[in-house]
Amino acid sequence: MARIHSAAALKIGQRIREARERLGISLEDFGELSQVSWTSIGRIERGAQSPNAETLVRLATALDVDPGSFLSGVTADDYGRRLHRVTARDLINARAEALDDPRESAS
């Protein structure tokens, strides 16, 4: 079995495969409709390859679904270990708190 790229790639690939199979479309026909090679689609569906944004849009368009449906619920944690767990909101709030803390201005 092919190596899995990430938990995110596996989730996305399964969603793409399910949508394709619901319509009864072969990999070859799907490749033709989406203008993505069917071998690449196969790797994506197995989670061995993580699709880029253009590929996601091409695949979704061919399946007549919203590209966001493939990404719903996928988080950065699904791509493996993260060095930082701070979001932009956390950073902005911390800076605002520092400005409001009178001890900060004394240092």
Q: What share of the chain is helix, strand, coil (3-state, %, to 5)?
A: 65, 0, 35
Q: Is residue 106 part of a domain?
A: no
pLDDT band of residue 4 (cuts 50, 70, 90) is confident
Q: What is the pLDDT of residues 21-56, one digit of tens each?
A: 999 999 999 999 999 999 999 999 999 999 999 999
Q: What is the pLDDT of residues 76-90, one digit of tens each?
A: 888 887 777 788 998
Alpha-carbon dihedral sign for residues 54, 58, 59, 61: positive
Q: Taking phi first (over 0 means left), then psi (-120 to 50 degrees means alpha), and beta for anything else, what does residue 86 get?
A: beta
The domain total for the chain is 1
Q: Is residue 103 part of a domain?
A: no
Helix (H) / strand (E) element for 59: namely helix 53-63
Q: Is residue 63 part of a domain?
A: yes
pLDDT at 37: 97
pLDDT at 36: 98
Query: Is residue 41 classed as helix, strand or coil in its secondary structure?
Result: helix
pLDDT at 22: 97
In terms of Cβ atoms closer than 10 Å to its own Cβ (0-12, 13-18, 19+), residue 52 is exposed
pLDDT at 8: 93
Mean pLDDT of 88-106: 78
pLDDT at 1: 52
Q: Give the structural domain span for 33.
A: 7-81
- Strands (DSSP E) contained in the chain are none
Q: Is residue 59 part of a domain?
A: yes
pLDDT at 102: 62
